[in-house]
Structure 1
Amino acid sequence: MSSFLIEPIYDSVAVAVLVSLLVVAVLVLVTPPTDNPKQRRWLIGLRFVAAFILMLAIFRPGFVQTDTRPAEATLVVAVDTSRSMTFPDDDRADRWTHQQQAWRELADGVASLDESMSVRLLEYDKAATELDNALPTALDDRTPEGDLTDLASAATAAIAAAQGQPLAGVVLMGDGAQTAPIDGAGAERVAQTLKTWGVPLWTVPIGPAGGQAANRDAGIDALPESYQLFAKNEFDVNFQVQLRGLAGTEVPVRVRWIDEKGNSTVAAERQLVAEKASEVQGMSLQVVAPAPGVYRLNVEVDPVEGELVTSNNLQTAFVNVREGGGRILYLEGAPRLEQTFLRAALRRFPDLDLTYQWIPSDTAARWPIGLRDWFQKGKFDIYIIGDLDADAIGREQLKQLAQSVSEGAGLVMLGGYHNYDAGGYANSPLADVLPVQMDASRRVSIQSDDVGDRRLQIPGPITVNRSRSHPITNIGGGDPDKTWSSLPSLLGANRFVGPKVSPGVQVLLETADRDPLLVVGEYGRGRTAAVAFDSTWRWWREGRSEAYRRFWRQLALWLLSREEDSGDRIFIELDSRRFANESETGFRARLSSVADERTTVKLTAEVIDENNRVTAITDTASSTVAGEQTVAGTIPNLPPGYYRLKIGPADNDSQIKPETLAFQVIDQSREMLMPMADPGYLRQLAEITKDHGGAAFSHEEIDQLVQRIAERRHQAEAPVVEKRTLGDDPISGWLLFVLFAGALSTEWYLRRRWGLV
């Protein structure tokens, strides 16, 4: 609508009229001083032009145009970029693809509405960020990678994105699953704020709602992180199978070996049928350990149709398989300190299984003690006899023991007052088995107090000397002889008649006077050892525990025919060998050495992935604890996968071998463990602003959303008045001035020319 108006000076029409009358009166009364009609007409005409322009300036006529149009406003669109958008939406595409399509249609639709509405595009997961452009192609090169979803953060950021401009509305796209911890009232509080402001919230739910059919899941849980096994031994793999939404469905469960080269072998398989809609079944599958080596043991369940989350379908345990198992039977008479420390040392090694039997001397009236089938072939791999009289075991059982040794078992007899010939073994079946000579005349009664006879005992203190190099005596250190001589002295030892003169019999340890302290030999297919002492526990108590453990382990391994390197070694410990990628998992490593003079070695740590890519761990702390060098640190944040932690000396020329320990980083993201969308929640948010046009639309109803936005913009139209007054702008003002001045200047010029001035 258009109209004319006048805005006289001083906002007074009367003043304008009065001034106009005065101007007219001046024109009428003050006539040009000439009688020439032509000259009079020119001069009066020019004066009237100037007067007319002056009256225009006094009355200030104008033009008013009234129109209606939408006010300037901002439409904010927030899209979900969390990882849950990678889940399927339907049979056609995943949620992210449908969200991309929805955004392109919305961007194209609102672009044709009006120029007074700007569009801002946000992406959100656990936080919201505005994108550089809001073009229809803005999402084409992006991927959903967020670990959490916070709808409240998205809604709050949408309000802030308007930057002070009125909001035309907020469009919130996504699956509606709130996985981030909720602070306060969450997104509902923001929706209430929009309602108070009269701003509509439009939501676009993407993804299927939860339900029995859509909530199908099978997973493996409660599998131990690691195993220490012996080759060819049978063991039980215990775990749990979680089943949801699979009542009556047959689910195959499988146990698989993965060796260091990645070769896979199925070890066991079973079909499982769920009886309820949701249940947890404990399972135990018997598996035979493979050949020695390092393995991953995978327990897996096949994905079922309609299952969205498959990351929990497999769980891994790390397995070290050793060459055969060492089963040890330790028979003891007098409960001495040696047996306490020896049991603790041997039980520390996972490949040595110790059974201890105490036969006290006050049970002598009931000797021999029946020891079930413990001496039968194959029952135990090593037999240790402490300070125990031969009569406690009995001739028949000792005969069985001798037979087992001849067929491959190991036998070691420790020092003591009531063993060897003093304990009656010179007349027992073990006389031919043990590698030392015995004299039956040195037999001591179990009730006798004559245990200090110099014929039977070597008084202490005794310094142990190594008489020859042997796997048993190779307990580490740069100078083995110096290592042995530096150990704490022994309190005493048995005095042997002498070692047997027989093939394979060797004296490994002796006193300074050349009395044998450790004699080894062979009997049939078995190995035997005669130990004259029983006070090596002093090594442990005086800070040489590593030497103590190594000596007895080396002796046990030699009896098993499994000698190993006893140089300085690195031992690694991890807080957990299977942990989430967001957790902080610490590690510790110690350099074990028995040498008196330890060389300071700097230990370094690094992580190696499955493609042999190396990541150095620089943030570590080194220290010395109980004489051992240690290094500790934290595993860096790693993507899910299998890795090896490698600890080794910084000096490549060092003789110390680096050690590795395998571990797994798993994905336990809340985002990926909650696969079901929550469209109902997004509809509830939109419902809060329904009085102002808020509503929910599916990704296939974007055209209806565009129409709703257009209707909302039409309702927001307001009258706009455009007024143009003569002289308000520079052009019209200067035009009036030029015409006025031009008319008066011309009139003055003509009067001079005509000589009327």
Structure 2
Amino acid sequence: MSSFLIEPIYDSAIIALVASVVAFTVLFLVTPPAENPIQRRWLLAFRAFAALILVVAMFRPGMVKTDTAAAEATLVVAVDTSRSMTLPDGDQADRWTHQKQAWQALSSGLAPLADSMNIRLLGYNETATELSNPGPSSLDDLESTGELTDLNAAATSAISIAQGQPLAGVVLMGDGTQTSEVQGTGAQRVAQTLKNWGVPLWTVPIGQTGGSAGNRDVSVDALPESYSLFSGNDFQVNFQVSLRGLAGISVPVEVSWIDGSGNVTTAAKRHVLVETASDVQAVSIPITAPRPGIYRLQVAAETQSGEWVTTNNRQTAFVNVREGGGRILYIEGESLYEQRFLRMALRRFPDLDLTYQWIPSDTASRWPIPLDNSFGVGKYDIYIIGDVDADAIGREQLEKLREAVSAGAGLMMLGGYHTYDAGGYASSPLADVLPIRMDASRRRDISEEIQADAADQIPGPLKIELARSHPITNLGSSDPEQVWDSLPPLLGANRFVGPKVAPGVQVLLETPQKQPLLVVGEFGRGRTAAIAFDSTWRWWREGHSEAHRRFWRQAMLWLLSREENTSEQIVIELESRRFATNAQTKFQASLATLSATETPVRLSAEIVDETDRVIAISDLSERSEPNFRSISGSIPTLEPGYYRLKVSPSEPNSSVQAEQLAFQVIDQSREMATPMADPVYLRQLAKITSEHGGDAFSYEQMDALIERISERRKQAEAPVVEKYTVGDDPLSGWLMFALFATALIIEWTLRRRWGLA
């Protein structure tokens, strides 16, 4: 609709009229007389035209055009880009495909509203990001890779993205499942804010709730990360099976060995009967350790019909199977430093199982102490007898110990005031077992006061000298004598009568005066060792802990007839051997040496995957000390799978061997662990703004949503007034000035030509 209007100067028609009359009067009264009527008419015509221009300028006529149109606004569309959108949505396609179809239909259908509505596309997972150039194909090259879903981030960003422009509405697509750690009612508060602003929230729930079928899931949990076993030993595999939506169904579970070549051998099978809709059952399966080697132990539950997530149906442990273990019985009578540090050193090694038996001297009235058939053949592999009197064990049990050693067990006796001949062993069944000669006359009563200058004791400080190279005394250095010479002196030792003269008897350590300190020998099928000292704890206390550990381990392995390669070895420590892809897992690899004079060995580390592809580690840090080298770092972000952490000496000709430690990277995404959609929640959010047209639509109802948005845009139409007034714009103003000036110039020019005043 159009109409005419005038806007006189100073908003007063009277002033404009008076000014117009004055202008006409002045122009006509001052006109010089002209005798020629034609000339007079031309002069009056130009002056009248100029006066008319002034009148128009005074009254400022114009035109008003009134119409209706929707005010420009922003429509924000938020799409779910989390990994749960890759889950199936019925039998037809996955959720991502259906969401993409919904966006394509919505984008195309809203194209006619582009003049009045600005569409902004937002992708959200744990954060929200605006997607540039929104159009029907915007999601074609986008992938749903987000590890979490935060609906609050999506709703909050939808408001802020409008940047002050009026909101036509918010469209929120997705499965509606909140998996972010930021829980609470943030999305509801945003929906309430939209309601207060009069802005509708339209939700497009995608994905099924599942019912009894889609809610099905089998998960294997709580399997230890690693085992250290001995070949042929029986052990229990303990784990949990979590089951949901499978009431009354028997689920098969299989335990398998996977060797280094990838060969799979079934170790055991079980069936777990589910009694309730949601059940967690603890399972314990006894199996036998295979032959020595490095294995993966896999527990797998059979995939059930209707399961959406199957990556949690299996779990793997790493297993190191050794060739027979060492079961040690350590009998001690004095709770001194030596026994504490000896136990601490041996328990560092998983293949040595130590049992400690303390027989204090104040129990002499109850000697012998029964030890529950501890000396039966095959019960223990090694027996260590500390500072304990022979009567505390008793002749009958010592006779059984003699038989056990003869059958193949190892025996070690330590130094002390109540051991060897002073403890009554010279007249015990062990007299012909130990590799040293003893004197029964040295027998000391348990209550007898110990003299500092006793004939059976060597006072300290006492230096140790290497008498013979042997697996026990070869602690890994290229110069064994230098290692022993660097150790702190002993506080004292037993004075042996002397070693036996028999096959296999050897003196390994001695004093500078050639008094034997460590004598080894054999008895039947077993090995024996007599140690005269009990103060090796001083080695640990004064910074030689590695020598202390190696000495006692080498002694145990020799008694087990399992001499070990004593070359220096790299030790790898990993915080966890089974961790998620986004975990920050650190590691450390160390190499301890016993000789400070050796050339330092530098270490390098790398990761090797199942295809032998090498992955570099970027944050390695190195530490070097005279007897210790180490490197540390973090495992980089890796895809789920099995890997090996390989640590090697940097020098190609080094005698140190490379070491490897296997680990597993798993997919522990909370996003995928919650496969069910939550359309009810999205409907509840939309209902908050229902009084302003908010509602929920399925991905197949985009036509209805487009119609609803179009209706809202029509309701948002407002009168649009377009007014044009002469002189409001530079063009009309300058045109009027040009016409006025031209008329006066022509009039003046004519008067000059005609000779008029």
Shorter chain as normaliser: what TM range?
Answer: 0.7 to 0.9
1:716 maps to: 716
Match of 2:190, as an amino acid? V
2:257 maps to: 257
Task: Write the distance in 1 (CA, Å) between the matches of 2:408 and 2:663.
Answer: 37
Offset at residue 200 of structure 1 (A): 1.5
2:106 maps to: 106
Offset at residue 541 of structure 1 (A): 4.9
State whether residues 457 and 492 of structure 2, in contact with CA within 8 Å, keep that contact through their aligned partners in structure 1: no
Please give the TM-score of this superposition, normalised by the length of structure 2: 0.86
State whether residues 607 and 617 of structure 1, in contact with CA within 8 Å, keep that contact through their aligned partners in structure 2: no
Task: Write the distance in 1 (CA, Å) between the matches of 2:609 and 2:153.
Answer: 35
Please give the TM-score of this superposition, normalised by the length of structure 1: 0.86
State whether residues 32 and 43 of structure 1, in contact with CA within 8 Å, keep that contact through their aligned partners in structure 2: no
Offset at residue 525 of structure 1 (A): 4.1
Q: 1:86 to 1:397 in 2, by over 3 A?
A: same
Offset at residue 340 of structure 1 (A): 4.7
1:687 maps to: 687
Offset at residue 177 of structure 1 (A): 2.1
2:614 maps to: 613
1:233 maps to: 233
Offset at residue 234 of structure 1 (A): 1.1
Task: Write the distance in 1 (CA, Å) between the matches of 2:86 and 2:170.
Answer: 24
1:334-733 matched pairs, under 5 angstroms? 338-357=338-357, 373-386=373-386, 401=401, 404-415=404-415, 433-436=433-436, 438=437, 444=443, 457=456, 459-461=458-460, 462-487=462-487, 488-489=489-490, 491-502=492-503, 504-587=504-587, 591-595=591-595, 609-610=609-610, 611-616=612-617, 618=619, 620=621, 622=623, 640-645=640-645, 655-657=655-657, 659-733=659-733
Task: Write the distance in 1 (CA, Å) between the matches of 2:70 and 2:744.
Answer: 48
Count of residues in Structure 1 that have an aligned counterpart in Structure 2: 753
Offset at residue 554 of structure 1 (A): 0.7
1:30-429 matched pairs, under 5 angstroms? 33-34=34-35, 49-50=49-50, 52-182=52-182, 185-209=185-209, 211-331=211-331, 338-357=338-357, 373-386=373-386, 401=401, 404-415=404-415
Q: 1:23 to 1:351 in 2, by over 3 A?
A: closer
Offset at residue 574 of structure 1 (A): 4.1
Query: More deviation in 700-709 or 120-129?
Result: 120-129
State whether residues 377 and 407 of structure 2, in contact with CA within 8 Å, keep that contact through their aligned partners in structure 1: yes
Query: More deviation in 732-741 or 593-602?
Result: 593-602
State whether residues 604 and 650 of structure 2, in contact with CA within 8 Å, keep that contact through their aligned partners in structure 1: yes
Task: Write the distance in 2 (CA, Å) between the matches of 1:441 and 1:54.
Answer: 146
Q: 1:379 to 1:153 in 2, by over 3 A?
A: same
Query: More deviation in 687-696 or 419-428?
Result: 419-428
Q: 1:423 to 1:684 in 2, by over 3 A?
A: closer
Offset at residue 263 of structure 1 (A): 3.8
Match of 2:329, as an amino acid? L
Query: More deviation in 223-232 or 339-348?
Result: 339-348
Task: Write the distance in 1 (CA, Å) between the matches of 2:251 and 2:703.
Answer: 44
Match of 1:723, as an amino acid? K
Offset at residue 326 of structure 1 (A): 0.9
Task: Write the distance in 2 (CA, Å) between the matches of 1:532 and 1:729.
Answer: 115
Q: 1:746 to 1:365 in 2, by over 3 A?
A: closer
State whether residues 606 and 614 of structure 2, in contact with CA within 8 Å, keep that contact through their aligned partners in structure 1: no
* Secondary structure, aligned partner of 2:149: coil
Identity %: 61
Q: 1:468 to 1:728 in 2, by over 3 A?
A: same
Match of 2:466, as an amino acid? R
2:6 maps to: 6
* Secondary structure, aligned partner of 2:147: coil
Task: Write the distance in 2 (CA, Å) between the matches of 1:721 and 1:439.
Answer: 123
Q: 1:360 to 1:697 in 2, by over 3 A?
A: closer
Query: More deviation in 71-80 or 642-651?
Result: 642-651
1:167-187: CA deviation from partner (whole Å, max 9, x where unpaired): 111222222222334477412
Task: Write the distance in 2 (CA, Å) between the matches of 1:358 and 1:401.
Answer: 17
Query: More deviation in 409-418 or 185-194?
Result: 409-418
Query: More deviation in 738-747 or 684-693?
Result: 738-747
What residue ranges of structure 2 are gaps of 5+ in the alignment?
none
* Secondary structure, aligned partner of 2:223: coil
1:312-358: CA deviation from partner (whole Å, max 9, x where unpaired): 33333232222211122345567776545434433332211233445
Match of 2:290, as an amino acid? P
Superposed CA RMSD: 4.0
* Secondary structure, aligned partner of 1:112: helix
State whether residues 34 and 756 of structure 2, in contact with CA within 8 Å, keep that contact through their aligned partners in structure 1: yes
Q: 1:497 to 1:83 in 2, by over 3 A?
A: same
Offset at residue 717 of structure 1 (A): 0.8
Offset at residue 363 of structure 1 (A): 8.1
Task: Write the distance in 2 (CA, Å) between the matches of 1:336 and 1:183.
Answer: 56
Task: Write the distance in 1 (CA, Å) between the matches of 2:362 and 2:80.
Answer: 80
* Secondary structure, aligned partner of 1:549: helix
Match of 1:492, as an amino acid? A
Task: Write the distance in 1 (CA, Å) between the matches of 2:690 and 2:528.
Answer: 90
What residue ranges of structure 1 are gaps of 5+ in the alignment?
none
* Secondary structure, aligned partner of 1:312: helix
Task: Write the distance in 2 (CA, Å) between the matches of 1:424 and 1:19.
Answer: 143
1:608-630: CA deviation from partner (whole Å, max 9, x where unpaired): 555543343537585879x8666
